[in-house]
Amino acid sequence: MLYTLPMLLKDRITFLTSPKEVDGFLKENPTAAIFKAGRCHKTPETFVHVEAHLGPRDDLKLGIIKVVEARPASNHVAVLTGIEHESPQIILFKDGKKVFDRDNWDITADSMAEGMRAVSA
């Protein structure tokens, strides 16, 4: 029996910098997550919860948009989903459709657990 190690979250991250990259990422990964990262202290503090819940899910890829550097990509996600831009922000997709989103201090361990249930349903 061959045992394979799970893929680490860091190996499942794609940095998205343009609308075209967002479209390609979602086409290739219809069940995935996009995290919009800002530069304030909230981003690393909330990413801890994202990492804790996505880490064990090696079936989920994570697209990260650095909002300041990639505003067109961030704006494109807002248009695609109808979700007003915030950062930090997590959006979970299942079968290409948004099923969960939270932003700012609403990205918590409890809310991420709720999001994982939405992706798994």
Structural domain includes residue 3: no
The parent domain of residue 18 ranges over 9-120
Report how many domains make up the chain. Answer: 1
pLDDT at 1 over 60: no
Q: Name the CA radius of gyration of the chain, rounded.
A: 14
Q: What is the per-residue pLDDT for 33?
A: 97
Average pLDDT, the chain: 93
Q: How many CA atoms lie within 13 A of 90 on its CB side?
A: 32
Residue 36: helix, strand or coil by DSSP? Answer: strand
40, part of any domain: yes
- Is the pLDDT at 7 greater than 90? The verdict is no
Q: With a cut of 80, say whether residue 6 has pLDDT above it.
A: no
- The answer to the question of residue 48 being in a domain is yes
**Does 1 fall in a domain?**
no
Q: Please tell me the pTM assigned to this model.
A: 0.92
Contact partners, residue 60, CB within 8 Å, separation at least 6: 12, 31, 32, 33, 54, 119
Tens digit of pLDDT for each residue in 69-116?
999 999 999 999 999 988 999 999 999 999 999 999 999 999 999 999
4 has pLDDT over 70: no
**Which pair of tokens denotes residue 53?**
């819940």
Mean pLDDT across the stretch 31-60? 93
Assigned domain for 4 exists: no
CATH of the domain at 41: 3.40.30.10
Tell me whether residue 2 is in a domain: no
Helix, strand, coil % in the chain, rounded to nearest 5: 45, 25, 35
Rounded-to-integer distance, Cα 117 and Cα 27, Å: 22
User: Is 21 part of a structural domain of the chain?
Assistant: yes
Q: Give the per-residue pLDDT at 58.
A: 86
